Homo-oligomer: A and B are copies of this chain.
Amino acid sequence: MISQNSLYLVPVPIGEKGETGTAIRSVISACPFFITEEIRTARRFIRSIDKEKNIDLCTFAEFNEHNCNKGTAEIEALFADFPVAVLMSEAGIPCVADPGWQVVRLAHKLNRRVIPLSGPSSVYMALMASGIQGQRFMFHGYIPVKREARLRYLRDMEQKIRTDMATQIFMETPYRNNALMEDLTNSCNPALMLSVSAGIESDLAFTATKSIGEWKKELPDLHKIPAVFVMGI
Contacts and interface: CB of A to CB of B under 8 A. Distances in A.
A138 B164 contact: yes
A124 B138 contact: no
Given A108-B209, A121-B124, A138-B138, A101 B131 contact: yes
Contacts of A131: 101-102, 104-108, 114
A116 B128 contact: yes
B138 A18 contact: no
A75 to B, nearest CB: 13
Contacts of A209: 105, 108
Contacts of A137: 96, 138-139
Nearest to A113: B206
**Which residue, of A93, A101, A118, A208, has the highest number of chain B Cβ atoms within 10 A?**
A118
**Which residue, of A99, A108, A166, A208, has the highest number of chain B Cβ atoms within 10 A?**
A108
In order of increasing CB-CB distance, the 5 nearest A-B pairs are A105-B131, A118-B120, A104-B131, A116-B129, A95-B128
26 contacts: A11-B118, A93-B124, A94-B128, A95-B130, A96-B127, A97-B134, A99-B135, A101-B132, A104-B129, A105-B209, A106-B131, A107-B131, A108-B208, A108-B210, A113-B206, A114-B207, A115-B129, A116-B126, A116-B197, A116-B200, A116-B207, A118-B118, A121-B121, A134-B139, A136-B140, A138-B138
Interface of A: 9, 11, 17-19, 21-23, 93-102, 104-108, 113-116, 118-121, 123-141, 164, 166, 197, 200-201, 205-210
